[in-house]
Amino acid sequence: MTATLDTAAADPQQTIAELQRQLDTCRAELAARNSDLQESLEYQTATRFTHPPPRWGGPMRTNAGFSEPAVRADAAALVGRPP
């Protein structure tokens, strides 16, 4: 880069042309990256509800096996109050 800066004073038009080429290259790389990201996002959106993520720990567990009065009585006994 220092060599480029040294020659920059000699020919500003050449420096501008080189910087323009570098900018065009960066823009092309950015466009390719954005295209890849857009494709990935479209795929994720399309498969979001058709392929849900796996559930960890098996099916949802509920307190269906416990009755509310029994739970209240157990809780009251723990704190030392009558239910």
Give per-residue pLDDT as tens, 5-37: 565 567 899 999 999 999 999 999 999 999 999
Three-state SS at 9: coil
Mean pLDDT of 43-69: 63
Query: What percent of the chain is predicted at pLDDT more than 70?
Result: 57
Q: What is the CA radius of gyration of the chain?
A: 33
- Do 2 and 9 touch, CB atoms closer than 8 A? no
10 to 2, 13, 56: CA distances (angstroms)? 13, 9, 66
Do residues 76 and 82 lie in contact, with contact meaning Cβ atoms separated by under 8 Å? yes
> In this predicted model, which residue has the larger pLDDT, 30 or 62?
30
- The three-class DSSP label of residue 80 is coil
The pTM score is 0.43
